[in-house]
Amino acid sequence: MAQKEVDDRFKRFGTVSFTAVTRTNDFVGYLEQGKIMGTGCKACGATYFPPRSDCFRCLDSNMEWFEVSGTGSLLSFTELEYAPAGFEDDLPYTIALLDYGGYKVFGRISKDIPYEELQVGMELKAEVKTLPNGQLNYVFTRP
């Protein structure tokens, strides 16, 4: 009997991974190359981050990858003192939303930037990071 091969690359994403198998496994393949990718709908042009494999707007499944590059504007941020199970060792950390124009990226602020220096409207970039346990993640840091 042939063994079914499971594409479980998604389990390498994040401090604790919740979904090992998704249709957007290539996201992690790109992270391994140092690229943070979203998806765009070829039919209507809608852009998504995190990547979606189906368009929420027009329900088309003809999606293509694009790289989250350049800088985004800091829309909002907050420091977490309590975290979901598995993230306790990282506390305190700051989560934020960057506005890239056509899409928004949610993630963490790098510990290199002191909380006091964060300001709404400042430009930050997203950067791939390999965690000590080998998991992949991305953080927002100074351009």
Q: Which residues in this chain contact Zn ion in the complex, by CB under 5 A?
A: 41, 43-44, 46, 55, 57-58, 60
CB 45 to Zn ion: min, Å = 7
CB 65 to Zn ion: min, Å = 15
Q: Which is nearer to Zn ion, 42 or 111 (CB)?
A: 42
Q: Which is nearer to Zn ion, 58 or 91 (CB)?
A: 58
Q: Which is nearer to Zn ion, 45 or 86 (CB)?
A: 45
β-bridge partners, 108: 95, 139
| Cα separation, 29 vs 42, whole angstroms | 21
CB 24 to Zn ion: min, Å = 16
In sequence order, the 6+-apart residues with CB closer than 8 A to the CB of 45 are none
Q: Which is nearer to Zn ion, 7 or 60 (CB)?
A: 60
CB 68 to Zn ion: min, Å = 19
